Amino acid sequence: MHSTSALSFSQATSVPTTNYAFHSHCPLNLRFCGLTTQAFGFSFSTHSASTRLRLSTRAPGHSNKISASPGHNGTPPTSFDYDLIIIGAGVGGHGAALHAVEKGLKTAIIEGDVVGGTCVNRGCVPSKALLAVSGRMRELQSEHHMKALGLQVSAAGYDRQAVADHANNLASKIRSNLTNSMKALGVDILTGFGTIVGPQKVKYGKVGFTDTMVTAKDIIIATGSVPFVPKGIEVDGKTVITSDHALKLEFVPDWIAIVGSGYIGLEFSDVYTALGSEVTFIEALDQLMPGFDPEISKLAQRVLVNPRKIDYHTGVFATKITPARDGKPVIIELTDAKTKEHKDTLEVDAALIATGRAPFTNGLGLENISVVTQRGFVPVDERMRVIDANGNLVPHLYCIGDANGKMMLAHAASAQGISVVEQVTGKDHVLNHLSIPAACFTHPEISMVGLTEPQAREKAEKEGFEVSVAKTSFKANTKALAENESEGLAKLIYRPENGEILGVHIFGLHAADLIHEASNAITLGTRIQDIKFAVHAHPTLSEVLDELFKSAKVKAPASTSSSPVSDPVSA
Amino acid sequence: MASPLLSNTTISFSSSLSSSPLPRLFPSVSFSSIRFKSNPRRVLTVRSKIREIFMPALSSTMTEGKIVSWVKSEGDVLSKGESVVVVESDKADMDVETFYDGILAAIVVGEGETAPVGAAIGILAETEDEIAEAKAKAASKSGASTPYAPPPAPAAASTPAPPKSTPANAAPTVTEGPRKTVATPFAKKLAKQHKVDIESVVGTGPYGRITPEDIEAASGISPPKTNVGPTVVVEAKPAAPTKATVSSFAPSSLPPPVPGSTVVPFTTMQAAVSKNMVESLSVPAFRVGYPVTTDALDALYEKVKPKGVTMTALLAKAAAMALVQHPVVNSSCKDGKSFTYNSNINIAVAVAINGGLITPVLQDADKLDLYLLSQKWKELVEKARAKQLQPQEYNSGTFTLSNLGMFGVDRFDAILPPGQGAIMAVGASKPTVVADADGFFSVKNKMLVNVTADHRIIYGADLAAFLQTFSKIVENPESLTL
């Protein structure tokens, strides 16, 4: 994907390049000014943005080497409207903008739609509102569960519109929070669709208005993604829908087919079954929840699928989906994924397409800087620097979030944005994607960080190390038992010889909140033999992880000196 | 649940010896040993190409198992090593894997139902052609109930489908031609549960589809009051005491329930305890008590405690060492006619766990040193809590130790577990005034030990001698650390 020559060059000069690259075509010069100008940048960073901008643009003048050439040859702009322009105000862009301001950069963010992007408006945020409802409905409907707690509840019902309003209100609230936080910090929010017109140059504008041209030292593409709809599927927004429509909850069908059993599909199955729908999963791979650790997906299927009003077809593609019309239901043609033969026809009330997301990179003007997308994704290196068609790095241009496809999660986008800002302010930074947790907010939740067991074993085989697995059950956790929610499993994949955590997978009550102890440990490089001594409040669900770490058998001694753990079962 | 997936098969010798490559590779003698080495969990029988899936025996005390869930549905294609069904034994939830490729043709015992060990719970067909034959077999297995409907799962549904409409790109004909049966996911589940032939049900739902209500009507059950009727409230009204308990069990000679009482059915583990306890009544047991001075043991415990040694490990080790000298106490009486001398000394230790009782086993307790034993014990307890004990880790005991001393209990007697010759009940060690032979008083820590034994094989003198040895070991515990 990227040529080795480009990489070796970038390593040598990475700090100055990302910092003060006034003329990108001549990177060698930059080495000289890097340090001096950097000192200016930081010393004035606490002053107003405009002052800083003036000073920093003047800075090259102090460098003998630079003063001769850049001011006069004219190709890329020598003075910039902004230090950093971010195209796309989703969670990734927002995270980057906030960090940029903290680092003293004059920052603008271009947004053609609403602030907040997919996550806030059509993704994680409104779906959490629906899942909050579904979780409670599920609990209230479970007579057995209520009885076990000694509670008596008469009929549980819901008002669809009120539920939909809750989701919508939450999205608006979070959206205004995001907008306000950026405004308050002095981030300029430029409205319109952003297009890259050349190095360090962007134009933006609304349809029908003249475009405005702005320049920036560095540009981050953070345009995100849209629901991916495979060909043959006709989305009408009413009976054949994507997550965008489903989150509005305009109707609750009696029977809905969900195409795709990843995070999105699984969460919606939780919502719809709690609200009374029956669900049919259609999954192209041979098993449901293919992205999860196999043991976790097996357990999840046992808890989240089998006892519910859900059936499923695996190893099939939905090759043709026709919306309900002319008195006919939604018709889904299933084709065998291997033989490509017609397999079955389903007739349902609605179909939700949750087959993943496609990058939203059309119209970005990538051709102006000779960048060719791969299946729509913007190619980047491990520092999120954009790679052009020839395999060279495009100076001053970065791409984060769903648009680069490295890890399509809101918080991953934000982390990538922060990593980029670190780089452009002079500190090299490479984000460890294996430390980024992921969660699926079903009831109970699923969360994970790092490698799955098969991935870890494959890696171990290649690199020749040993892998061990430790597991603990929620059934032994006091808090889980108190909540009468003791179905769950936590799984730790680690290297026994040095205690390195390779992956942690949790299925159980509040798994999404529990994962961070593990992801933080991976980020900070904390080893199991050390984290073992961390104390957990009792009784809490976090003790599941405490037990998990303690049950690991690590050969390396703890680096911290602590008193030996007292034996819990001395008779 | 989280236990490693275990599988094994017993291939019936009649037909498989010639066809299966296994016996050819291994002479028939070693064949059976292989079977045991890899856990005798899962039992399939080869009869032509249709195999029955039997309720596996997950522990020696297990006589029946409850199907927690079927991981696979009827019609699903199974490949070797995949888990098919989850069975709750008296000790743990276990995934049961298939040892053969094939198609799950029929489920004979549904989710939530129980079946005795060895009973067929499902039928595995090798190819689609044999599904019908397998179903017929399933029908005969499940009594007079109607044969199963064609499996709702897509894999097998395609088998009967083709004649109805030609596939390819003739999508409209599918909907307009002869109607195919359309049933909702829950309707299919209900049909399976109530053994309703879904093809015979007339759908009344939208577009003529079969709804859960249609299945309920067809099977003659009234629709359950799903979140409409506040059944819970009615039940709990104190004004209607006789309704307070749902009497789904035989009322016959049982005394009427006290108003306000609730009936909680046994978990499988509790049911196993109950069964074992009743069974123990058929064993002529007797008890011998012995006071043991523990000052030396207490001193030793203080010394080794920082190294992770527990009192449980110390007592287990002492008992094991005493058993070496008194093998009869480590024996058992299986048939009422003979002694079975056990070659290993495996000390089972009773542990209360989540409303149940389990006895993790310290295997070869006489051979392991104290530190290994302590470490082993810690692992076993953690596994027991996580419901991850493997059968050989709780059912291989030859002698049981039960200690209630930590609660301050001074003496108690234990009930003999089936299959074992003796069980030792240990009370608390307490300072006691003792008069020695010369009439001098002193204060010593004394602990009362009470052993229950099967008098068919272990006599009073045997126990007395055993206890004397045990007492000597405890009073001079240095040998424990060797």
Pick the residue of B189, B298, B349, B372 with the most A CBs within 10 A to test the interface with A by mutation: B189
3-state DSSP: chain B helix, strand, coil percent, rounded to 5? 35, 20, 45
* Residue A250, helix vs strand vs coil: coil
Asked whether B374 and A567 are in contact (CB, 8 A), the reply is yes
Backbone angles phi, psi at B333, to 5 degrees: -115, 105
Q: Which of residues 141-170 of A touch B (CB under 8 A)?
A: 141, 143, 146-147, 152-157
In this structure, which amino acid lies at residue B140?
A: S
Going across the sheet that includes A489-495, the strands are A438-440, A445-450, A500-508, A489-495, A468-473
Q: Is A123 annotated as a binding residue?
A: no
- Quick check: A488 contacting B, CB < 8 Å? no
Verify whether the Cβ–Cβ distance A307 to B69 is below 8 Å: yes
Query: Does residue B398 sit in helix, strand or coil?
Result: coil
Cβ of B232 and A146 within 8 Å? yes
Residue B226's closest chain A neighbor by CA? A141
Binary contact (B308, A567; C-beta < 8 A): yes
The ranges of chain A with pLDDT < 70 are 1-76, 560-571
Q: How far is B216 from chain A (nearest CA, A)?
A: 15
Q: How many whole angstroms separate alpha carbon A387 and alpha carbon A371?
A: 7
Q: What's the confidence (pLDDT) of residue A294?
A: 92
Of residues A147, A306, A329, nearest to B69 (C-beta): A306
Q: What are phi and psi of B427, to 5 degrees?
A: -95, -175
Which of B385, B387, B389, B424 best tests the A interface by mutation, with the highest count of A CBs <10 A?
B385
Residues of chain B in contact with residue A310, where contact means CB-CB under 8 angstroms, are 185
The two beta strands, B93-97 and A240-242, are: unpaired
User: What is residue B312's predicted lDDT score, i.e. its pLDDT?
Assistant: 87
Q: Where are the beta strands (DSSP E) in A405-467?
A: 438-440, 445-450
Q: Which residues pair with A330 in a beta bridge?
A: A348
pLDDT for the residue numbered A144: 82
In whole angstroms, what is the distance from residue A503 CA to residue A113 CA?
A: 37
Which residues neighbour B336 within 8 Å (Cβ) at sequence distance 6 or greater?
Answer: B456
Q: Confirm or deny that A408 is annotated as ligand binding.
A: yes
Q: Which pLDDT score is estimated for B48?
A: 54
Q: Do the chains contact at B406 and A254, CB–CB below 8 Å? A: no
**Distance from the Cα of residue A69 to its chain's centroid:** 42
Place of tokens 């000790």: B91
ipTM above 0.85, yes or no: no
Strand, helix or coil at B380?
helix
Are residues B184 and A329, on separate chains, in Cβ contact within 8 Å? Answer: no
Cβ(A410)–Cβ(A224) below 8 Å = no
A489 shares contact with chain B (CB less than 8 Å):
yes
Compute the distance between CA of residue A291 and CA of residue A505 in angstroms, rounded to an integer: 12
pLDDT < 50 stretches in chain B: 1-47, 143-177, 224-252
Chain A interface mutation, best of B207, B301, B354, highest count of A Cβ atoms under 10 Å: B207
Of B68, B153, B310, the CB nearest to A567: B310
Q: Which two tokens stand for residue A564?
A: 């030996």
Instruction: Please count the residues of chain B.
Output: 482
From the list A337, A391, A383, A346, the residue with the least C-alpha distance to A2 is A391
DSSP string, A53-80: HHHHHHGGGG-HHHHHSHHHH-SS-SS-
B48's CB contacts (< 8 A; 6+ apart) are B15, B130
Q: Which residues of B touch A345 (CB under 8 A)?
A: 171, 174-175, 180
pLDDT given for residue B456 in this prediction: 92
Q: Name B435's bridge partners.
A: B441
Which helix or strand (DSSP H or E) is residue A245 part of?
helix A243-246
A216 in helix, strand or coil?
strand
Residue B394 has a CB neighbour count (10 Å cut-off) of 23
Distance CA A387, CA A374 (A): 11
> Is A48 within any annotated ligand binding site?
no
Q: What are the DSSP E strand ranges found in A384-518?
A: 385-387, 393-399, 438-440, 445-450, 468-473, 489-495, 500-508
The reply to whether A283 sits in an annotated binding site is yes
Give contacts of A295 with chain B, Cβ < 8 Å.
Answer: 2
Q: How much is the pLDDT for B481?
A: 80
Residues of A in contact with B86 (CB under 8 A): 302
Distances (CA, A) of A543 to A546, A567, B129, B386: 5, 16, 52, 13
* Closest CA of chain B from A530, distance in Å: 19
Q: Which residues of A are catalytic?
A: 538
d(CA A37, nearest CA chain B) in Å = 58
Per-residue pLDDT, A540 = 96
Global pTM reads: 0.57
* Segment B226-239, tens digit of pLDDT: 443 333 333 333 44
The whole-number pLDDT of residue A393 equals 94
Contacts of B251 (CB under 8 A, 6+ apart): none
